[in-house]
Amino acid sequence: MGKVLSKFNKAHLKEKILAPETVEALCKYNFPGNIRELANLIERLVVVSENDQIQITDLPNAVTSFVAKTISYSLISEDIPLKDALERYEISIIERTLKKYGSQREAAKALKVDQGTISRKLKKNPFPKSDVILHK
């Protein structure tokens, strides 16, 4: 993936990088068009993403919905207490919303909760960030 990203960065005079969770999502997705589809997606991300770091929220719906299904499945397939699974899912939703809106205040508005609730849940979060987002 790194060589493809470098190639398109050079071609479009950009210096984009992939966030770790974006790489993980791309690795989990089963590209029907194989390597060409992955290369086309990376080129599109280099061209249209607004930030220098390409986030998981920049990925198309086909990839993110697949990853979301993987998250949901991993939550129910693990032998963990219901309370822990619910907390993981809740934190996952909060993390994705924070990435989309950029602040706790805006995320709270979108989720229709108080900003203090978001802050409290994030401070209490016992899960590593990468575990929350993609649940290996």
Mean pLDDT per block of 10 residues along the chain (136 residues) reads 90 92 82 84 92 86 74 56 76 83 89 90 66 35
First to last CA, the chain: 20
- Round the CA-based radius of gyration of the chain to a whole number and report it: 16
Which of 68, 41, 69 shows the shortest CA–CA distance to 54? 41
Which of 34, 42, 33 shows the shortest CA–CA distance to 3? 42
Query: For residue 1, what pLDDT is reported?
Result: 78
Query: For residue 98, what pLDDT is reported?
Result: 86
Q: Please state which CATH class domain 2-58 belongs to.
A: mainly alpha
User: Are the CB atoms for 5 and 16 separated by under 8 Å?
Assistant: yes
Q: CB under 8 Å to 105, separation ≥6 — which residues?
A: 115
Query: For residue 71, what pLDDT is reported?
Result: 58
